[in-house]
Amino acid sequence: METLDVAEAERVSALLVAEANAVALFDEVVARGIIAPGARESVVSDAVRDLADEMFGTRRFWHKRIVRSGINTLEPYSANPPDRVIGEDDICFLDFGPIFEEWEADFGRTYVLGDDPAKLALRDALEPFWEQGRAYFEAHPDITGDELYGWVAEQAAAQGWELTAEIAGHLVGEFPHKQISGTAVTSYVAAGSTPPMRRLDPKGRICHWILEIHLVDRANNIGGFFEQLLDIRPAR
């Protein structure tokens, strides 16, 4: 048991380090002004990739790199909208899954260029909404991915947003976690994912989860995104 506990503590530590690296990466993206009017989404994506290499020596990402701005922020992860030039008074979100020493991070944030009230309101709603989702998860020990997704959809509507994404999170772990995560739907916070989220994976390890929130403001045709580790908190 002690060996298993040590191994799990090491897994948790590695996932937290991976997320801390992602936070530092995104902070540096902002500091260097990489998200800027006139830049194409593809150019921003490549710049973030290169910055991850510069800062941490990694150029590997376990899922496609997402940079979405303007009308493209309405599109779900599965879409591949046309490459767009970021505007002067725009909204933009990043969703990146860098691999740090074989450990996956998955991190998403939304940025606003300018002072448009609707864009700022959406950006500022995302983290509080995400925290409400974490609180709901923590208050329900036997919660399933299906139940958490249902809560996210219900609360989005109650707060005046749309939820168009088919998932609201997924498993995360050692790369590639998809090879050890079981059947497809049970790897996600999604309709039809009925096993308890607090469970062991097929290799007997504790499942760890990402919560991702993609809210749409249909009246203004914009979307926003916020994503990070759900079930693990950094030490205070």
Q: Please give the pLDDT value at position 3.
A: 59
Residue at token pair 């998860």: 137
84, 108 contact by CB (below 8 A): no
Q: What is the band of 68 on the pLDDT scale with cuts at 50, 70, 90?
A: very high
Rounded to whole angstroms, how far apart are CA atoms 61 and 66? 11
pLDDT score, position 163: 96
Q: Are 211 and 169 in contact (CB under 8 A)?
A: yes
8 A C-beta contact, residue 143 and residue 137: yes
Distance between CA atoms of residues 217 and 222, nearest Å: 5
CB atoms closer than 10 angstroms to residue 182: 14
Q: What is the pLDDT of residue 182?
A: 54
Digit-coded pLDDT (tens) for 149-181 = 999 999 999 999 999 999 999 999 988 766 555
Which pair of tokens denotes residue 15? 């996932």
pLDDT digits (tens, 9 = 90+) for 13-60: 999 999 999 999 999 999 999 999 999 999 999 999 999 999 999 989
Report the chain's mean pLDDT, rounded to a whole number: 94
Contacts 24+ apart (CB under 8 A), 152-159: 152/189, 152/213, 155/129, 156/129, 156/215, 159/125, 159/129
What pLDDT is stored for residue 1 in this prediction? Answer: 45
Q: How confident is the model at residue 62 (pLDDT cuts 50, 70, 90)?
A: very high
The dotted CATH code for 2-229 is 3.90.230.10
Supply the DSSP string of 86-128, one letter for each residue.
Answer: --TT-EEEEEE-BEETTEE--EEEEEE-S--HHHHHHHHHHHH
pLDDT digits (tens, 9 = 90+) for 85-132: 999 999 999 999 999 999 999 999 999 999 999 999 999 999 999 999
Would you place residue 236 in the very low, low, confident or very high pLDDT band (cuts 50, 70, 90)?
low
pLDDT value of residue 179? 52
CA distance 70 to 125: 17
| Range with the poorest average pLDDT among 83-92, 130-139, 201-210 | 201-210
The SS3 call for residue 234 is coil
The owner of tokens 């509080």 is 128
Which of 109, 90, 106, 89 is CA-nearest to residue 98?
Answer: 106
- pLDDT value, residue 4: 58
Give the strand pairing for 107-112 and 91-96: antiparallel
Residue 179: alpha-carbon gap to chain centroid: 20
